[in-house]
């Protein structure tokens, strides 16, 4: 395979998948997303592998790197943090490769919201409380599809996981308050699974001040919902007849 996109997980090298580790070990070139990738993950690379930090590089520059090394017969591994299935910005990269008839493959990874669930020791769905999980982010340059704003989504009352929004915590909380009560539990998990991980707990009434006091402005997921404090009872293993 010429190019392999690998979800590198939330940060902790031990949360990298076995398949992901094998792909890194066999790569000639590794294109990785700057400080979002733990340095210890890059240690799996061969001594002669070429490591390229993609931070600050344009889409055109990244495309040129793919084309150059594939033309030279090298295997390129493109490392993205978390999982590839959302907010990884790989769709345009894949379309470029397809336009050049360059073969590629995807290896999924563990998302930071899964790592946050583990750190919080909470399941994000719970019978009788919330059986729906909404994953979203604030909208910026890409625009907002109709009905997908945080304000609109908050009216569902489901558990919500918000990526790429902690630097906009005032705006995010303001929109969440449209649908959730002020007493709704909120957790902000910064750098889930990293050694520097921080967890801030609060409610929609006080989480803004707590986040500001902690000085957290990036690499965080915001989790909102009653599942953070309440628990339901699953009948999955109850032994009752369905």
The model's pLDDT over 202-231, given as tens digits with 9 standing for 90+, comes to 999 999 999 999 999 999 999 999 999 976
Please tell me whether the overall predicted TM-score, pTM, comes out greater than 0.85 for this model: yes
pLDDT the model gives residue 238: 46
Cβ atoms of residues 233 and 127 within 8 Å = yes
**What's the mean pLDDT in 161-183?**
97
Q: How far apart, in whole angstroms, are the C-alpha atoms of residue 134 and residue 115?
A: 16
Q: Alpha-carbon distance 77 to 58, whole Å?
A: 18
Per-residue confidence (pLDDT) for residue 18, from 0 to 100: 98
Q: Which domains does the chain have, with CATH numbers?
A: 3-107 (3.40.1010.10), 112-228 (3.30.950.10)
- The CA-atom distances, in angstroms, between 167 and each of 69, 138, 141, 210, 228 are 37, 10, 15, 13, 22
Question: Which of 33, 66, 75, 28 is CA-nearest to residue 47?
Answer: 28
β 76-80/185-190 pair status: unpaired
Q: 189 with 163: CB under 8 angstroms?
A: no
Stretch among 48-62, 135-149, 192-206 having the lowest mean pLDDT: 135-149
Q: Is it the case that residue 40 has pLDDT exceeding 50?
A: yes
């Amino acid at each position: 395979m010429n190019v392999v996109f690998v979800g590198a997980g939330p940060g902790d090298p031990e949360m990298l998948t076995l398949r992901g580790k094998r792909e890194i070990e066999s790569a000639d070139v590794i294109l990785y997303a700057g400080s979002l990738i733990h340095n210890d993950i890059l240690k799996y690379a061969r001594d002669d592998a070429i490591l390229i930090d993609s931070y600050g590089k344009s889409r055109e520059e990244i495309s040129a790197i793919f084309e150059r090394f594939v033309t030279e017969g090298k295997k390129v591994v493109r490392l993205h943090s978390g999982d590839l299935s959302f907010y990884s910005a790989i769709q345009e990269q894949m379309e470029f490769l397809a336009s050049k008839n360059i073969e590629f493959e995807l290896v999924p990874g563990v998302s930071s919201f899964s790592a946050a669930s583990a750190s919080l020791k909470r399941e994000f769905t719970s019978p009788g409380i919330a059986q729906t999980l909404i994953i979203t982010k604030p909208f910026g340059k890409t625009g907002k599809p109709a009905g997908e704003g945080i304000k609109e989504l908050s009216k569902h009352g489901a558990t919500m996981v918000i990526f790429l929004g902690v630097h906009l915590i005032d705006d995010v909380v303001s929109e969440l308050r449209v649908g959730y009560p002020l007493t709704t539990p909120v957790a902000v998990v910064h750098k889930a699974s990293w050694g520097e991980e921080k967890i801030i707990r609060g409610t929609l009434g006080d989480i803004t001040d707590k986040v500001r006091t902690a000085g957290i402005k990036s690499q965080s997921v915001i989790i909102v919902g009653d599942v953070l404090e309440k628990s339901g009872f699953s009948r999955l293993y109850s032994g009752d007849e369905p």
